[in-house]
Structure 1
Amino acid sequence: MSNRSWASTPAVRRSMQSNRSRDTKPELLLRRALHARGLRYRVCTKPLPDLRMKADIVFRPARVAVEVRGCFWHGCPEHHRKPTANSEYWTAKISRNIARDRKNEKLLSEAGWLLIAVWEHEGPADSAALIAEVVGRRRGGSP
């Protein structure tokens, strides 16, 4: 490990590198709940071809994108705790993530899409019910 690493120790570096970007436990639970409601969707795909972002779950006909956000990585207003090690680095990193999330939401909205952010601590059944209702409404039918 070089002296310039963002990680405070080699163990922290290994732990952070092992974090998944897709198919996380909260994401899988939400997808199962949505599937059980009869909803079909695309996984880890771009809602818009020119947008760098890949949404976790995409309902193309309804123009709904769902992002399952981790409390640490996306600065959850309820659960995010400022790290004590490398605080300056992580504070800047989380701030950039929040700014990127806001920018993506704005770009999607301008293109007629709705981005639903689901926090990892939210129950998959309740989140699936909300998403089903929104998708149904945007498709012009009942959920």
Structure 2
Amino acid sequence: MRPGGPEPLNPRRRNMQANRRRDTGPERAIRSALHAAGLRYRCDYRIDLRSGHRVRPDIAFTRRRIAVFVDGCFWHSCPEHGSNPRTNSGYWGPKLAGNRERDDRNTAELRAAGWAVIRIWEHESVAEAAEKIMNVVGRSSAPGSAGNVRDRNDDT
């Protein structure tokens, strides 16, 4: 510790700490559009699965059992915009692969528990994302009957 105060943060550390887990710009924009359309939902709602895993969708329609994830292109390896960093690839390769595996596992476990899962990429327009969500919410008349939107390999 330097005299007179704590050590200044390493710029890389400060940059990593600025990455939010929730309330990202794309997530807030989509939530705003859904709210303006009259939909009400829960944010960062914790779902305890039978497997013992906990999942926190960005947006959850709890009565209809619809979970919405707004995935960042870098962190979730978007096929269009995701990139593999060249620096420290020994760390980032397994880290990003682990994120994809966790996403796939969470999606499968939520579906097995009767939840519909919608995954939105951060690069999708707010209007398209909101319309996709509203279509699924509008189709679901009973809990768990909403269906599922966008598998990992889909282009939509």
- TM-score, normalised to structure 2, is 0.80
Paired residues of 1:64 and 1:113 also in contact (CA < 8 A): yes
Partner of 2:135: 133
Paired residues of 1:47 and 1:60 also in contact (CA < 8 A): no
Partner of 2:19: 19
**Residue identity opposite 1:20 in structure 2:** R
Partner of 1:109: 111
Counting matched residue pairs gives: 131
Structure with greater Cα Rg: 2
Alpha-carbon deviation of 1:136? Answer: 1.2
Paired residues of 2:120 and 2:129 also in contact (CA < 8 A): yes
Alpha-carbon deviation of 1:85? Answer: 1.0
Q: Using the alignment, how far apart are the partners of 2:64 and 2:46 within structure 1?
A: 14
Partner of 2:29: 29
Q: The residue matched to 1:139 in structure 2 has which SS? A: coil
Partner of 1:81: 83
Partner of 1:122: 124
Alignment deviations for residues 41-82 of structure 1 (CA, whole Å, 9 cap, x no partner): 000012346541111000011110001110110111110111
Calculate percent identity across the aligned residue pairs. Answer: 49
**Residue identity opposite 2:39 in structure 1:** L
Q: The residue matched to 1:73 in structure 2 has which SS? A: coil
**Residue identity opposite 1:23 in structure 2:** D
Alpha-carbon deviation of 1:13? Answer: 2.1
Aligned-residue RMSD, C-alpha: 1.3
Matches within 5 A, 1:3-18: 10-18=10-18
Matches within 5 A, 1:35-114: 35-48=35-48, 50-114=52-116
Q: Using the alignment, how far apart are the partners of 1:55 and 1:75 within structure 2?
A: 18
**Residue identity opposite 2:123 in structure 1:** H
| Structure 1: 5+ residue stretches without partners | 1-9
